[in-house]
């Protein structure tokens, strides 16, 4: 039978302690963490965090390893790739990790592996960062049918009509072009 204990760990970073869970095979523990992340993580996207990062994760002692499954939530300001408007992008993305001591055999779970330190601490930061970055769109859009900016005059085509096209077919310009 599973014993589920709930831990609220707000403002102490992304480090949890599973020493107790490690002692009790076939049990699980749920952790809730909250942390302000540095905008540096999003610098290459010109993004920044609008909310702290919240993580809810349940760790299960399978008898051999500790398997963690949960969700990462935050809100990130991104720039629309077409019209350059700010977007409040909701992140709700799964996180899957395995915590094991460096000396244990864990080859099958390598890509999710986090180090379980001797004192029972596991730092989730890198996995949380990865989960966030992986969830972000390559080309963020403010809306699916965003019309973007006119490449000619730069107006936002969502809100204004541009006159580039009309000018192109303006007969006076046409004459001028013929004189060249
Ligand atoms: Zn847009
Ligand atoms: Zn235009």
Q: How many CA atoms lie within 13 A of 10 on its CB side?
A: 3
pLDDT value for 155: 93
pLDDT value for 22: 93
Q: What mean pLDDT do residues 17-25 have?
A: 94
DSSP state of 40: G
pLDDT over 90 (residue 90): yes
pLDDT tens per residue across span 93-122: 999 999 988 776 656 667 788 889 999 999
pLDDT value for 141: 96
Q: Ligand 1 centre and the CA of 161: distance in Å?
A: 15
Label residue 83 by pLDDT band (50, 70, 90): very high
Identify the residue with better confidence: 161 or 5: 161
Mean of pLDDT over the chain: 86
Nearest ligand to the C-alpha of residue 148?
1
Q: Angle at the Cα of 13 (from 123 to 56), degrees rounded to 5?
A: 75
Decide: 131 and 93 in contact? Cβ < 8 Å.
yes
pLDDT tens per residue across span 34-61: 999 999 999 999 999 999 999 999 999 9
Q: Ligand 2 centre and the CA of 82: distance in Å?
A: 14
Q: Ligand 1 centre and the CA of 122: distance in Å?
A: 40
Label residue 10 by pLDDT band (50, 70, 90): low
Q: What mean pLDDT do residues 137-148 have?
A: 95
Coil/strand/helix, residue 130: helix
Please, is 158 exposed, middle or buried when counting C-beta atoms within 10 Å of its C-beta (0-12, 13-18, 19+)? middle
Identify the residue with better confidence: 100 or 11: 100
Q: Which residues make up the environment of ion ligand 1, defined by Cβ < 5 Å?
A: 80, 82-83, 142, 146
Q: Ligand 2 centre and the CA of 156: distance in Å?
A: 9
**Percentage of the chain modeled with pLDDT above 90:** 68
Phi (first) and psi of residue 49, to 5 degrees:
-75, 135
pLDDT value for 1: 42
pLDDT value for 60: 96
For strands 4-10 and 121-123, give the pairing.
unpaired
């Amino acid at each position: 039978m599973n014993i589920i204990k709930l831990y609220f760990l707000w403002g102490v970073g992304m480090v949890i302690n599973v020493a107790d869970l490690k002692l009790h095979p076939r049990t699980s523990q749920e952790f809730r963490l909250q942390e302000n992340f540095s905008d540096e993580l999003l610098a290459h996207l010109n993004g920044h965090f609008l909310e702290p990062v919240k993580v809810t994760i349940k760790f299960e002692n399978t008898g051999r390893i500790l398997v963690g499954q949960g969700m990462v939530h935050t809100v990130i300001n991104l720039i629309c790739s077409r019209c350059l408007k700010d977007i409040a992008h909701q992140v709700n993305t799964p996180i899957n990790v395995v915590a094991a001591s460096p000396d244990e055999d864990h080859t099958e779970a390598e890509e999710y592996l986090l180090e379980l330190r001797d004192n029972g601490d596991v730092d989730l930061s890198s996995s949380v960062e990865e989960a966030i970055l992986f969830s972000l769109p390559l080309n963020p859009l403010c809306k699916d049918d965003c019309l973007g900016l006119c490449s000619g005059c730069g107006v936002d085509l969502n809100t204004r009509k541009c006159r580039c096209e009309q000018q192109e077919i303006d007969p006076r310009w046409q004459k001028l072009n013929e004189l060249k």
